[in-house]
Amino acid sequence: MPANDEMTTVVGLASSSPTAELHSESRELQDAEEVGEDEVLDAAESVPVTMVLHHHATGSKEAVQMEVYPNLAPLGAERFLKLVDAHFYDGACFFRVMKKFVAQVGIPANPEMSEGWGEFKDDPVRQSNTRGWISFAAKGQPNTRSFQFFFNYRDNHGLDSQRFAPFAKVIANMEGVDRIKEMKDGRGAPSQAQIQRLGNEYLLRKYPDLSCIEVMRRGEPDGVIGQESLTSSTTGSDPFGASSSVGVASPGFSRLGSSDEGSSSGSLVLFVFVLAVLFGTLGGCRRANSWRFARDLED
């Protein structure tokens, strides 16, 4: 298990001097030429994965759909899917979020989960670290990836030459990733060493407004949201909740109990209920009157 914060972080732009963030146009063009962008995707071999985010600051939840591409980074894709299948990322919180750089996550909510997941070899970088693409974090040395990963908020071409090989991409609701609670480096930032030692016991106690992964599963949102494990782990029958201003903006991700459909459906249910009560009352009166009339005849 890594011993300090520096061991498992995205090195490069964020860990060097501010001037390192400025890349010349020629360098970016060179990186773009060396690493193709969206040129080698194989949709036939891609694997859909859905991540349900829980924004603790607002209490809202939303789904983000990703696509994993084994042909881009076979080792990274294989490790990621194994971690997803092991429910490794359920409850993991985003502890390093810089809106003009990356959103980093992956230390498990329960530290014991990290046992047995050692480092693995690097993949060749075949896709640039542009906005929406996902790569594993590393220790700054070759072949030191394990389970932390990050979302690129912008086109971080400078990471390509540092062996960060994208293996997946957000294909729906990148806006949800944009809404992840910001958590910058520096004084007052979460300690990776403490997270690795105590997990969410430390993280959510000290930083209660973080955004976390509620669940992450293979499959598209409709199938994942319908899983019993997801609905039973959330409050109520609506895994997205209905009390937040944060919505799911992308097509295909409809909030359960949204304002328009929810209000019309609620009105219809209320109307039917009132009618049922009214007719039930009238029916009861008729039965009561019939009973009295029958008693009168008997008497």
Rounded to the nearest integer, the mean pLDDT of the chain is 75
Residues 8-19 have pLDDT tens digits of: 555 444 443 222
Concatenating the DSSP letter of every residue in 93-116 gives: B--EE-TTSEEEE-S-SSGGGGTT
Residues 111-128 have pLDDT tens digits of: 999 999 999 999 999 999
CB atoms near residue 101 (< 10 Å): 21
Q: Report yes or no on whether pTM surpasses 0.85.
A: no
Q: In a 10 Å sphere around its CB, with 0-12 CB exposed, 13-18 middle and 19+ buried, how is residue 121 labelled?
A: exposed
> Are the CB atoms for 281 and 288 separated by under 8 Å?
no
Using CA atoms, how far residue 113 sits from 107, 110, 147, in Å, is 9, 6, 11
Superfamily of segment(s) 5-257: Cyclophilin-like (2.40.100.10)
Q: Which two tokens stand for residue 288?
A: 């009561």
Confidence tier at 223 by pLDDT (50, 70, 90): confident
Percentage with pLDDT > 90 across the chain: 57
Residues 280-297 have pLDDT tens digits of: 544 554 444 433 333 333
> Are the CB atoms for 73 and 114 separated by under 8 Å?
no
pLDDT of residue 222: 87
Main-chain phi, psi angles of 23, to 5 degrees: -115, 140
Q: Which two tokens stand for residue 16?
A: 């060097």
